């Protein structure tokens, strides 16, 4: 029982809230991430952020840029840069498919969320996305507001 209470304090999902507002999601996939030292402990405590982060393909490897993982307080061995590049773990054929799709105009790789799977391994959900124009953002906000009004009207009757 003490173990269950201890696990409740951990945040298991870190979201990139702006991603769905700024981009149109075309396709998504899940990748592992290579972390060092106490970075996993910091992520388990919720001290990570996916805002302003993106993924690039460099020399046949996928790298996650600008993911903020704050330093773990009780770590005295190794000091790591909080915004360092982190390698994403994908199969070679998945990387090649992504590379072909990224050569299309206006497509980018963005992380949607970071989560721990059932075995306790940190995974990143990546999305192949296209940037939205300002009028697209307004349209999606308008559609979301109309949906909310419809739900409220259903609840009143």
Per-residue pLDDT of the chain (157 residues; tens, 9 = 90+): 445 444 444 456 888 888 888 888 999 999 999 888 778 888 888 888 898 899 999 998 999 999 888 887 777 676 776 788 899 999 999 999 999 888 877 789 999 999 988 888 889 999 999 888 887 788 888 998 999 999 999 888 8
Burial classification of residue 106, based on how many CB atoms lie within 10 Å of its CB (0-12 exposed, 13-18 middle, 19 or more buried): exposed
153: in domain: no
111: in domain: yes
Rounded CA-CA distance 127/146 in Å is 26
User: What is the number of other CB atoms lying within 10 angstroms of the CB of residue 157?
Assistant: 4
The domain tally of the chain equals 1
Residue-range definition of the domain harbouring residue 22: 2-132
Give the containing element (helix H, strand E) for 27. strand 23-33
Tokens at 100, concatenated: 């072909």
Distance of CA 39 to the CA centre of its chain: 16
Q: Look up the pTM and report it.
A: 0.75
Closest to 59 measured CA to CA, from 37, 85, 84, 29: 85
Predicted local confidence at residue 12, as pLDDT: 67
Predicted local confidence at residue 5, as pLDDT: 45
23: in domain: yes
104: in domain: yes
Closest to 111 measured CA to CA, from 94, 88, 133: 88
Here the CATH number for the domain that contains residue 112 is 2.40.280.10
């Amino acid at each position: 029982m003490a173990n269950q209470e201890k696990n409740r304090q951990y945040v298991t999902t870190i979201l990139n809230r702006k991603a769905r507002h700024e981009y149109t999601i075309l396709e998504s996939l899940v990748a592992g991430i290579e972390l060092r030292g106490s970075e996993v402990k910091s992520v388990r405590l919720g001290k990570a952020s996916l805002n302003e982060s993106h993924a690039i393909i460099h020399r046949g490897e996928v790298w996650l840029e600008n993911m903020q993982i704050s330093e773990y307080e009780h770590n005295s061995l190794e000091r790591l840069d909080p915004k360092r590049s982190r390698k994403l773990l994908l199969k070679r054929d998945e990387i090649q498919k992504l590379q072909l799709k990224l050569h299309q105009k206006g497509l980018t790789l963005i992380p949607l969320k970071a989560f721990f799977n059932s075995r306790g391994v940190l995974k990143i959900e990546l999305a192949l996305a296209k940037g939205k124009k300002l009028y697209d953002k307004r349209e999606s906000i308008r559609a979301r507001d109309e949906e909310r009004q419809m739900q409220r009207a259903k609840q009143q009757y």
